[in-house]
Each structure stands twice: as C-alpha cells, then as structure tokens.
A and B are shown apart, each in its own frame.
Chain A
C-alpha cells in the first residue's frame, strides 16, 4: 500500500516546524522594527523561531486537533486501529491514541536518541583516549559532550515514558490511559523538542554541560536558547505524561486490585510520576528565566554591583532551582528500572517477590527523601557552611530505602529455581552495575571526600553506573522480556546473550576505569590531561570499553529488527508470568482485554500451589 507522505503526522509536523521557525523569526524581526530597534538580534529572533516552530509542529501534526474541535463544541469519537486505508505501520508515524502504539513511539524514539547520544560519546571518547588534543578543539569538545548529556537524558526520559505507557494500562487491566489525547500530545511534543535540541549544534551549541551553570550559560553561543526551550518542551511532556499515569493508576484499576496488589512496576511509576509532576516545574521556570535573561537582559542570575550592593541576580539561584529538579530527576531515571528488576526477578526465580510492601514503599520513600538532598551537588559552591552537613545527612538517608531494594532482590533470588534467558541476565547485570554506582554515592555524599572528588571523572563514573544499572540495563531487560508481547515473536536468544556478555564486562571496565582516572586527578568536562597523571592507559581502556558497549547495542537493534520477521512464534505467555498482560494473546490485540479482569490473589505468589492472581471475568460476571 502506498502512503501519501503528508498524511503522516510526523511529516506534516516537520514541515510545520520549519515554516513556523521562519515565521517566528520574521515576526520578531518585524516587531523589533516597529519598536524602532534593529531587526536582527540573534537571541530574541531565534527564540521567536523556536517557540513558533514547536507550536507549529504540534498544530500541523494534528496533536491538538481534537482539543481545538472541542472548543467549538465538536465531538471527537475515539479512533481505534490503523488509520483507514493505510498500512498498519503508518499509525506509528501518526497521532494515535492507543497507549501501546504511544509506548512503542516513545521506545523507538528513545532508542534513536540513545544511539545519537552514544555516537557523540564515542567521538569525544576517542579524543580522550590519549593525552593532548588530537582531532577536536577545546571548544568543539565542550559542545559535543554537552550535547551528549542532554540527548542521553532525553533518551532516558523517553525510555521511561515507553515502559510506563506501554505497561501500566496493560498491567492494571485498563482499556487505555486516563487521557489518551493528552498521552499522544505528551509524546509528540518530544519530537520538535528533541529536534530543537540537536539543531543547537548548528548555531554553536552550548558548552556548559547539561547543568548550564551561569555565568557561562548566559554568555555562550545562542545554542543555549535552543537547549533551554528544548528542555522546556521535554519537561512539559514529563509533566503531562506523569499526570496521566497518576490518574490512570489511582482510578482505573480493576476490581480487587488494591494498591498493594498492583504489579510492583506500577508503584515505581507512581513514585516516578509524583516527582515528574512537581519537580519538573523548577527546571522549566529556571530555564525560562535563563532564556529571558539572555534575550531581554532580566538579571536573575548575573550580579550587578552598584556601590557595593548587588542589584542584580545570583548565580547560585540557578544551582538551587536546577538541582531541586535534577536531583529528584535522577530517581525518575532509575525508579522505573528498579521496578523492572523487581518485576522480573520473581518470574525467573519462580518465587514470590521478597517484601512486596517494603519495595513499594521504598519507591515512595526514595522519591520523597529525594526532594531534600539537592544541596549535595553544591558542596563546593560556596553556599552556607551549615548547609553542607545537613545535605550530607539527608543524602546518606537515601541509602536506606535503596538498601531495602537490594535486600529484597537478594531475598527473592535466595533459593530460587533460577533460569537465565536474556532478560534475566540483564536484570542481574543491572543489579551488579547499580551496586557499583550506588556504593560510589556515599563517597560523594560525604563532604570531606567530595571536596576532592567533585568535578572529577569519579562523578562521571558514579552517575554512569547508577544510570546504566538503574535504567539502561533494566530497559534492555524490559525490551527483551516484553518483545514477544509486542511482536508475538521471540527475539534471537543467542544474539541476546552475546549482547549481554559483551556489554556487561565492558561496562564494568568502563565504570571502574572512569572512577579510577577520576581519583587519580582527571577533571570532568576537559578535553585534555597531563600525561604525568599516568592515566593514559586507564583512559584508553574506557574508550575501548565504550566501543564494545556501542557494538553490543547494535547487536540488539539488529536482533529486534530481524526477529520481528523470522523469530519463532512466542505464544501468549512464554515466561509463565502471572501478570495480567501475559494472560492475553501475543501480540497484544487492539483492545487488550476482551472482558474486565478481576484480582483474586497476590501478584507474586510464584510457586505457591493453587494461588491465582487474576481472573478474567466471563460473560455474566460483575
């Protein structure tokens, strides 16, 4: 079947984006002329372009069409299935309201961004493989690692969205999310936002890393504006998506599914969503203020000394606003992944999940305590001396609920009848990697050691290990695990195992390598280092390990594509899971559940004779 290109929302949106970009720039220039100013002033003109571009994308793609009709009183029935007269793949490029389609859209976009982010990392890792500058300049290095950071984080946020959107309604037996149109909108705003993020590189990019500390971020290239507004868009997606997930989890569970009988992943999503719903506003307004300071000169962050009194802003204000979001955000990155670990272990150990309630509550506890620790990123910032100890203690407290999870995982594995297909391998790999990352946390949370380690590669090692252990490994586990539910076919197990056995040792090497060059004096965010530090060998190892990881991910991508065609038929429930989504056909049908489900037992009573989690209501029930 042939498809008219402009019938695809993506294509229409992209056309709208560039037309809107030009129109927005012209509009601002015209306004400036009318106000008697010179037409060209890059900050204001580009901001006009960016804002109108993102808006036009959303309008042209059709992501807002139903709402606009509502304002005129026109009813818009839910659409189901692929658009009429089009092949089924076309719906993935369109505005679709089915949460399973949206979940896949999130997932594929996340993998694309992951590959872009990873490629950028390989580029600057080559530069770091030996001392002295080889092919990059100090400036281009800064721009590339900065782009790497936000592209990778965007990829994580979308990956989290992928798992939550695809799984939560399925796991609670709901027809769809609470607000399907909002769900589609929340996905689609990521597309123009991610595009804006990457376009930044054509106007000089931004060179501060993802944290964008002023005054540097107020002075650098206009690429900063692209980054601020792109993150604002992605943040909006976080807020709207999490609102939707919370409403879905709170009100759309089936009969009998008390909160403490939900699949544990839903608890993780609930905790994550609470963070995203609230904290994201802080980075949103922070980046807006930064943008306005650059384009209008509103002094929020730059001091202006007048006769010894500061009549301007304060650079530290940014650090507070930024970390009030960005520390809780690191739990957004990892809580869903930790939920996946807790979800998969009982299946492959054929044993009940150890301490279900503790795990559920530990997610909430991590989310809540996470709001009180942002200052541990600012030990060296020069803020009030007394704050240091307070933030050190609150930070060390987070170790408690995190420890609860580890012990529960061990308790679940203990005495289990373990099998080791690829998803289980990645789950165990995740635990091992997260352990490395987690143990390096308290070292940084202790003021005395952090004064030495702050802004070194040790921090880089710390957060890559936590994020890979808490997100990337579990995300891969989830992809392999639910692949049969999505496609109806099994991935190639041999290739999956190759992926795991290349990636995991390589990651250990990379982590230990990063941490040790950091301890030996390698600063982060610097393209060059002194050979006298004697870290060249370590740096080389890190770079080589990075290439191994990248190669192994390509194996997965190949596996996912090829198995969709030739993989063995998987059947409905290849893992013998008790979770609701495995009791329906694979691939999951358009309407997941033919009839409402009812919860009649505990979710994780694997191996207990006669236990049952859900019952599919037959005709006449209820």
Chain B
C-alpha cells in the first residue's frame, strides 16, 4: 500500500512499497513538476536563439511576407484554443469532443508547419518562390534556425497529440487519469507561447533590410 505524507513545509513525499505502484496523485505531481522544469530548460534554448537574433541583426530584420506571418500566427493561436477544448473534454470524459478537438489541433498545427515550410522557407518554389536561403546571409541563417527549431517542436507536438488520440481511442484515459493528454496540451500551449516571442522578433521588430 502506498502512503503519501505531508511534510512540514508543505511538500508531499511518497513512499511506495517497492512494488512499483505508487499512488497516482504523487506521480502526477512529479510529472507536472518534471514538465515545468523541462519548460524552464527549453526557455533557455529559445532564449539563446533570440539572443542570437538580436546579436546578429540588431535593429534590422529581413523582409518577410507579412501576410504569411500573420496567417500562420493566427492559425497557431487558434490551435491553442482547440487544444484547450480537447483537454477540457478529456477532463469531462467527452471523448467524441476530445477526438474532434484533437484532430482540429493537429490539422491547424500541420497548416502552420506547411505555412512555414512552403512560404517562409520557400522549399517548394513551384508553389511559392521564397527569397531566403539558409546559407545566403545572416538573415537567412537566423530565420531558418529560429523557425526550424520551432517547427521541430510543432512537429513533435503533433506526434504527441496523435499518440494521445490513439491511446484515448483505446480507452486508455479516464477523466481522473489522463496525464498524457494534459502533458500534450501544456506542451502545445508552450510551443505556441514561444512563437508569440518569435513572431515579433522575426517579423515586427526593427527596420526591414532591403
């Protein structure tokens, strides 16, 4: 039997009986803390990229398609809303709603991702002729570094949501126990939050360099 005890300063300690089934509340608390620590760490990763941007560009910026920037940003913000719906639905056991909202999020995420790859990167010149290359100059290099690192996170977020959707379909989660979904949701919000810093740094701050 597992015992959770409240220690003097309010933190909770757990002792499982070596059989490996500690109680769910304790595990959840550890998981949540672990996730937040991971976010703190990642903040330094994205912070380093921002520092690079300001160090190399100063108060200039590349000329990027403002329309593309606005659209992908809105799409990503919208996806945070749908992910919120998915998370809440899981909390209430509304698995159909969850499923629809999860797919909405994945599709919006994919739209964002394709927007970056096709329009910002110009990877498919048949569709859209981009004018930046990663090796051209400091503008191309930093744009690709920042959007690339962020896109990698978006992509992994989509994979994570997909895994959770499949598990949910297999009745893996309950309203009480759905840490996986919660984790995917806060991860998704976090990745969005990062973009809220990246978007102005790439598109808005400084004078465009011709």
Which A residues form the contact surface with B (CB < 8 A)? Answer: 71, 73, 77-78, 80, 174-175, 178-179, 182, 239, 243-244, 246-247, 250-259, 277-282, 284-286, 289, 292-293, 296-300, 304, 306, 310-314, 317, 320-321, 324, 591, 593, 596, 622
Pair B30/A247 contact, Cβ less than 8 Å: yes
A314 contacts B56, C-beta separation under 8 Å? yes
CB within 8 Å of A: which of B123-153? 134-135, 137-142, 144-145, 149
Q: Are B138 and A313 in contact (CB under 8 A)?
A: yes
For the complex, is B14 an interface residue (Cβ under 8 Å from A)?
yes
What's the nearest-Cβ distance from chain A to residue B126, in Å?
15
15 more A-B residue pairs beyond the given contacts A256-B7, A299-B141, with a C-beta to C-beta distance below 8 A: A78-B20, A80-B18, A175-B18, A178-B34, A254-B5, A257-B13, A278-B43, A296-B134, A304-B138, A312-B137, A312-B138, A313-B56, A313-B138, A321-B51, A324-B48
A282 — which chain B residues lie within 8 A by C-beta?
Answer: 44, 48
Chain A contacts of B3 at CB under 8 A?
596, 622
Query: Are A250 and B138 neighbours in the complex by a CB distance under 8 Å?
Result: no
Contact present for B13 and A300 (CB under 8 Å): no
A239 to B38, CA, bound (A): 8
Residues of B within 8 A of A80 (CB): 18, 20
Count of CB-CB pairs between chains A and B under 8 Å: 145
Say yes or no: A313 contacts B141, CB within 8 Å: yes
Q: Is the interface of B mostly helix, strand, loop or mixed?
A: helix
Interface residues, chain B, CB within 8 Å of chain A? Answer: 3, 5-9, 11-16, 18, 20, 26, 29-30, 33-34, 37-38, 40-45, 47-49, 51-52, 55-56, 134-135, 137-142, 144-145, 149, 163, 166-167, 170, 172
Least Cβ–Cβ distance between A275 and chain B, in angstroms? 11
Residues of B close to A306: CB separation below 8 A: 137
- Given the interface pairs A251-B33, A298-B135, A300-B141, the reply to whether A258 lies near B7 with Cβ below 8 Å is yes
Bound CA–CA A312/B135 (angstroms) = 9
The 7 A-B pairs of least Cβ separation, nearest first, read A78-B20, A297-B135, A298-B141, A281-B44, A281-B45, A311-B137, A596-B15
Contacting residues, chain B, for A257 (C-beta < 8 A):
7, 13
Expressed in whole angstroms, the minimum distance between the Cβ of B129 and any Cβ of chain A is 18
Smallest distance from the beta carbon of A183 to chain B beta carbons, Å?
12
For residue B44, which residues in chain A have a CB less than 8 angstroms away from its CB?
A: 278-282
5 A-B pairs (CB sep. < 8 Å): A73-B166, A253-B11, A257-B7, A284-B45, A298-B140
Given known contacts A178-B34, A251-B30, is B48 in contact with A304 (CB within 8 Å)?
Answer: no
B37, B56, B149, B170: most-surrounded residue (chain A CB, <10 A):
B37
Q: Within the assembled complex, what's the spacing in Å between the Cα atoms of A593 and B149? A: 44
Contact of B45 with A300 in the complex, beta carbons under 8 Å: no
> Are A251 and B45 in touch, CB under 8 angstroms?
no
Are A71 and B11 in contact (CB-based, < 8 A)? no
Nearest chain A CB to B160's CB is how many angstroms away?
A: 9
- By a CB distance below 8 angstroms, the chain A residues around B14 are 251-252
Q: Is the CB of B13 within 8 A of A243?
A: no
With known contacts A251-B13, A252-B13, A257-B7, A278–B41 Cβ distance under 8 A: yes
Q: How far in angstroms is the closest Cβ of chain B from A320?
A: 7
In contact, B11 and A289 (Cβ under 8 angstroms): no
**B48 surroundings in chain A (CB, below 8 A):** 281-282, 285-286, 321, 324
Whose C-beta in chain B lies nearest to the C-beta of A298? B141
- CA of A289 to CA of B6, assembled, Å: 46
Closest to A77 in B: B20
Cβ–Cβ < 8 Å partners of A312 in chain B: 137-138
When the two chains form the complex, which single residue of B34, B134, B139 contacts A243, counting CB atoms closer than 8 Å? Answer: B34
Measured CB to CB, the nearest residue on chain B to A79 is B20
Q: How far is the CA of A320 from the CA of B54 in the complex (A)?
A: 13
Question: Smallest distance from the beta carbon of B132 to chain A beta carbons, Å?
Answer: 11
CA distance in complex: A278, B163 (Å): 28
B42 touches A281 (CB 8 A): yes
A300 & B40 in contact (Cβ 8 Å cutoff): no
Contact call A254/B7, Cβ cutoff below 8 A: yes
B34 near A247 (CB under 8 angstroms)?
yes
Return the contact of B41 from the options A179, A243, A591, A622 (Cβ within 8 A): A243
Chain A residues positioned under 8 Å from B49 (CB to CB): 285
A98 to nearest B CB, angstroms?
A: 11
- Nearest to A249 among chain B residues (CB) is B11
What is the minimal beta-carbon distance from A328 to any residue of chain B, in angstroms?
11
Cβ-defined contact, B52 with A300, below 8 A: yes
- The distance in angstroms between the C-alpha atoms of A314 and B44, with both chains bound, is 21
Contact A300 B137 (CB under 8 A): no
Chain A residues within 8 Å of B18, by CB: 80, 175, 591
Question: A78 vs B18: C-alpha distance in the bound complex, in angstroms?
Answer: 9
Residues in A with CB closer than 8 Å to B37 are 243, 246-247, 277
Max chain B CB contacts within 10 Å: which of A71, A297, A306? A71
B7 to A304, Cβ gap below 8 A? no
* CB–CB B135/A73 < 8 A: no
CA distance A286 to B55 in the complex (A): 13
Known: A289-B145, A297-B135, A299-B141. Contact between A73 and B41, CB under 8 A?
Answer: no
B52 and A317 contacting across the interface, CB-CB below 8 Å: yes
Tell whether, in the assembled complex, residue A239 and residue B41 are in contact, meaning their CB atoms are under 8 Å apart.
yes
CA distance A253 to B10 in the complex (A): 11
Q: Select from chain B the residue with minimum beta-carbon distance to A76.
A: B20
In the docked arrangement, what's the CA distance between A105 and B48, Å?
Answer: 32
Our pick among B11, B20, B137 for the contact of A250 (Cβ within 8 Å) is: B11
Contact assessment for A277 and B41 in the assembled complex, using a CB-CB cutoff below 8 Å = yes
Question: Nearest chain-A residue to B169 (Cβ)?
Answer: A73
Q: Is the CB–CB distance between B145 and A304 below 8 Å?
A: no
Inside 8 A of B40's CB, which chain A residues have their CB? Answer: 277-278
Decide: A253 and B138 in contact? CB cutoff 8 A.
no
Query: CB within 8 A of B135: which of A254, A277, A296?
Result: A296
